[in-house]
Structure 1
Amino acid sequence: MTWNKPKIVITNWIHDDILAEIEEFAICIANRDRTTPWSREDILERGADADGLLAFMTDMVDDALLREMPNLKTVSCAVRGYDNFDIDACIRRGVTVAHVPDLLQGPTADLTLGAIIALTRHMLPADRYVRSGNFEGWRPHFYGLGLAGTPVGIVGMGGLGRAIAKRLLACEANVIFHDRQVDRARIDPWGTFEGISLDELLSESRIVILALPLVQETHHLIDRDAIAKMQPGTYLINPARGSVADELAIGDALKSGRLAGYAADVFAMEDWRLPDRPRSIPRDLLDATDRTVFTPHLGSAVDEVRRDITKAAVRHLAQFFRGETPDGAIGPASAEAV
């Protein structure tokens, strides 16, 4: 009996040795460009007849794509957050979807802590000052906010929220949190985090961190009304999803001084599934250079971590085509995205 290898489309660059692993059990149609992900048109041109798809943050799998790929049997997402993938549409068409839930929290939490310190200690404007040639030695400039004893509120106490909390506790911050599914103190090996209402968290925190998925209930959770409940001079940090916060409202709050600063690794323009998403970052955010810290979605951008994430996604493909249920298979009721 001859076994025909499945055809798998890989939409973004992956390490050569991992590509070789896939080629052991599949015919690969792979993007080898490190700078440009394949568009939907590229995917369909190369792999409309594909059996499998190795997908990334830049991809959106919806009913329209599934109609154009009638042979598709599985989508393996090299991501933790999968709000760009219509799970219900996949289930209706018998397409198995898997993601990688456990490898991104640590590096994303590291980056979040770095963004907090960079923002609250004015590291970017201070760097520009040193490079300007005007620095002549210590002066009483760039005084900022330390973490020890500072009330830091985390909105969302899932895997990412807990990883961020552990790092903040090491800095002696006073960590509080709000989570719709946890309405009491959460006991963790690293300490106890106090669960409070969202309004209480917004009013009590000097630093607010968003660590929750983008679902209908969390879209623009941080809007003008939420910002108005914060203390003047609060810092807002977003390593989760851009559209969890209203970027236009944040820009206005930075201009008025209501927010002392905003740090983000994610932006609303990346939330491909939202038809009314903006196509660029608001100018008011980009122009607030002394009060913002922005990174281009670097949460998991650690080489070994990305390698491990991709290897896990490849393992899910291999499991599926062996007739097994992938470890990271997603059910219809799942909604976690950070």
Structure 2
Amino acid sequence: MTDFTCVIAQPIHQDGIELLHEAGIRVVHTPAPDPVSLGSVLGNADALIVRSAEVNRTMLDRARRLKLIGVHGVGVNAIDIAAATEHGVIVANTPGSNAQAVAEQAIALMFAAARRVPLADRTVREGDFFAFKYSVPMIELEGSTFGVVGFGNIGQRTARMAKGLGMRVITYSPNAPDSALAEVGVKRAQSLEVLLGDADIVSIHVALNEQTHNLIGRQELARMKPTALLINTGRGGTVDEIALAEMLAEERLAGAGLDVFAVEPIPYDHPLLALDNVVLSPHNGGSTATSMSRTARAVAQHVVDMSRGQLPTQVLNPLVITNQEAP
């Protein structure tokens, strides 16, 4: 056993924990992922593994030995990366490890919203069999247009699946190279507005930042067809949820499928919870057994590398490394 200590803030797959143990790393689990509980155990930590837990400047001030924050997944919105950089703490995430699972979740939500699966299930259980069958309209997907907003790893995988279903696929992703679109056989929309007006299903796959906050707002939603579906497995803050709820309630949009929310967990009084034409899941798009094992091992490997004096892959703040190498 080395004196290298890793704090795990939120549950990860046992395969990742075993990798840490095999490397002789001391593992500490926090009782809760809140800043107070987490901050109380960071004083002696060399590495920290988080999924969505907040890591702020105050916590980093107390983490005198901390060398690495390993992110289980892609999203780093809850981490103060600027403060981590100032404290000389490397932040490394695990992009791609859950891409297939999230892409499958996007397609699953599309099917569930198009065929009103949750409502169908509930009405069968309540004995309202024929009322649902003869009165609730549903959407057939083959031949429809699938719009992908953001053509990274997950967006590309989702596009491939949609094409396999016989859908026409377009994307709005200004930074995506033409070669990536050509490889999947996807056409580029010249603007977000064009995509929104053309697509029958819009699937969001962008990171959350200043440019993408409320990227799909009231005006953008109004450009969509009233028969269209909105799917979001990217980040909750990219969609104006209040405007979306209003559009769904007024049937100016046929349906939606959401795995992510601006505030998680979603507040109990959120207007989306009262609607039958939206399918909700608790940000578990990447949580298949296979992807959880893959992601846990990837983030654990970052920790193992650091414990051996090696740099992890996927460093998000390379300035830390530059500062350490400077004379």
**TM-score between both structures, scaled by the size of structure 1:** 0.87
Q: 2:267 aligns with which of 263, 280, 296?
A: 280
Q: 1:221 aligns with which of 202, 215, 223?
A: 215
- Tell me which residue corresponds to 2:44: 49
- Residue-by-residue CA offset, 1:265-320 (whole Å, 9 max, x unaligned): 011113xxxxxxx97265320000x2010001111111121011111111111111
> 1: distance between equivalents of 2:202 and 2:304?
41
Letter in 1 for 2:70: S
Decide whether aligned partners of structure 1 residues 324 and 311 sit closer, same or farther in structure 2, where only a CA change above 3 A counts. Answer: same
- Residue-by-residue CA offset, 1:172-191 (whole Å, 9 max, x unaligned): 11111101313858434442
Q: 2:313 aligns with which of 300, 319, 327?
A: 327
Secondary structure, counterpart of 2:147 in structure 1: strand
- Tell me which residue corresponds to 1:273: none
> 1: distance between equivalents of 2:266 and 2:131?
43
Letter in 1 for 2:313: D
Contact 1:121 1:142 (C-alpha < 8 Å) held by counterparts:
no
Instruction: Report the alpha carbon displacement of residue 249 of structure 1 after superposing the two structures with TM.
Output: 0.7
Aligned residues: 318
Matched, 1:315 2:313: no
Contact 1:7 1:27 (C-alpha < 8 Å) held by counterparts:
yes
> 2: distance between equivalents of 1:15 and 1:213?
24
Once the two structures are superposed, the pairs formed by residues 179-258 of structure 1 within 5 Å of their partners are 179-182=173-176, 186-258=180-252
Instruction: Report the alpha carbon displacement of residue 233 of structure 1 after superposing the two structures with TM.
Output: 2.8
> Percent identity of the aligned residues?
28
Decide whether aligned partners of structure 1 residues 131 and 175 sit closer, same or farther in structure 2, where only a CA change above 3 A counts. Answer: same
> 1: distance between equivalents of 2:99 and 2:18?
27
Pairwise CA RMSD of aligned residues? 2.3
Secondary structure, counterpart of 1:269 in structure 2: coil
**TM-score between both structures, scaled by the size of structure 2:** 0.90
Structure 1, 179-188 or 5-14: larger mean CA deviation: 179-188
- Tell me which residue corresponds to 2:322: none
- Residue-by-residue CA offset, 1:209-241 (whole Å, 9 max, x unaligned): 111000100000111111122222321111011
Once the two structures are superposed, the pairs formed by residues 98-177 of structure 1 within 5 Å of their partners are 98-135=92-129, 140-177=134-171
| Unaligned stretches of 5+ residues in structure 2 | 320-327
> 1: distance between equivalents of 2:168 and 2:2?
58
Instruction: Report the alpha carbon displacement of residue 64 of structure 1 after superposing the two structures with TM.
Output: 2.2
- Tell me which residue corresponds to 1:305: 291
Instruction: Please identify which structure carries the higher helix content.
Output: 2
> 2: distance between equivalents of 1:201 and 1:219?
18
Contact 2:70 2:92 (C-alpha < 8 Å) held by counterparts:
yes
- Residue-by-residue CA offset, 1:86-135 (whole Å, 9 max, x unaligned): 22222222111111111111001111101001101111212222222232
Contact 2:152 2:176 (C-alpha < 8 Å) held by counterparts:
no
| Unaligned stretches of 5+ residues in structure 1 | 271-277, 334-338
> 2: distance between equivalents of 1:170 and 1:4?
50
Structure 1, 37-46 or 299-308: larger mean CA deviation: 37-46
> 2: distance between equivalents of 1:311 and 1:16?
9
Contact 1:185 1:194 (C-alpha < 8 Å) held by counterparts:
no
Instruction: Report the alpha carbon displacement of residue 138 of structure 1 after superposing the two structures with TM.
Output: 9.9
Letter in 1 for 2:97: L
Letter in 1 for 2:233: P
Structure 1, 309-318 or 14-23: larger mean CA deviation: 14-23
Secondary structure, counterpart of 1:268 in structure 2: coil
> 2: distance between equivalents of 1:60 and 1:188?
39
- Tell me which residue corresponds to 1:76: 70
Decide whether aligned partners of structure 1 residues 129 and 105 sit closer, same or farther in structure 2, where only a CA change above 3 A counts. Answer: same
